[in-house]
Amino acid sequence: MKNTNGHKGDALFYALSLIWPARCPGCDSVTQSRTKLCPKCREENEELDAACIGCGLPAGKCTCLKEALDLNLAAVYPYRNGIRQGILAMKFGERLDRADFFSLKMADRFRAVFPEAPVDLVVAVPLTRRGRRRRGYNQSAELAKRVARQLGVKYGRNALVKTKETAAQHTLSEKQRKKNVRGAFGVKPGLDLRGKTVLLCDDVKTTGATLNECRDILLKSGAEEVYCVTIAVTLKE
């Protein structure tokens, strides 16, 4: 008897693709794959293959000495064009499907930049309770738990906490950003970080003030080493 299961499966897949077509994780245009950027976004968003691990910026744009940064940072893209669109959709538009694509790219980039890093725990930059209630989720936590899954290591849910309300970083100047997050983070009571290597996840590194503050509190709380990974970095023109 002729097996028609394969044909039925193909027909179902085709029907579903008409109803829910694959969309680019960046610009959201209809494309061929949910796991790749569309050709336009690939052309406009080159990956940061040779970037400084201190500040995440490409060669010739490093600001580590000026900003006193040493983030151990792996970042995938510049924050612009379709990548910016995708991050904003994930962050403010509840498009958490974007986190699947971005977290895969983050995990791959981290492995490429720090192949010998023995990560014990993946954590996220936290939101305040007010911010979490308003948005309904923390996009950095959605990224972090997926990155942990990709790397096969433990995800530290709520490992970092925000201890005070702060203004939105994107509304502030560089100088104000550092002051805004100073003393704003803590580690969950009872969490033992002694001797552990921690990977800190966020969506975008702009000045590095938030990552730097979180990294410092993790180290002060006993972590042996802290690495950072983001989808993107803001380039200073």
Domain chopping of the chain, boundaries: 34-233
For helices 81-92 and 139-151, what crossing angle results, to 10°? 110
Q: What is the model's pLDDT at position 32?
A: 80
Residue 176 backbone dihedrals phi, psi, to 5 degrees: -65, -35
- CA separation, residue 176 to residues 63, 127, 170, 207 (Å): 18, 18, 10, 11
Tell me the pLDDT of the chain (237 aa) as tens digits: 444 454 554 554 344 445 567 889 999 998 887 778 999 999 999 999 888 899 898 877 887 777 777 899 999 999 999 999 999 999 999 999 999 999 999 999 999 999 999 999 999 999 877 777 888 899 999 999 999 999 999 999 999 998 877 666 665 666 667 676 777 789 999 999 999 999 999 999 998 989 999 999 999 999 999 999 999 999 876
Q: What is the model's pLDDT at position 170?
A: 61
Q: What is the model's pLDDT at position 79?
A: 96
CB 33 within 8 A of CB 17: no
- CA separation, residue 230 to residues 38, 63, 115, 200, 217 (Å): 21, 17, 16, 9, 18
Q: What is the model's pLDDT at position 21?
A: 79
Q: Which CATH number fits domain 34-233: 3.40.50.10540, 3.40.50.2020, 1.10.3720.10, 3.40.50.11540?
A: 3.40.50.2020
Q: What is the model's pLDDT at position 237?
A: 61
Query: CA-to-CA distance for 159 and 189, rounded, in angstroms?
Result: 9
CB 125 within 8 A of CB 206: no
Query: CA-to-CA distance for 230 and 47, rounded, in angstroms?
Result: 12
Q: What is the model's pLDDT at position 98?
A: 93
**Partners of residue 205 on adjacent β-strands:** 233
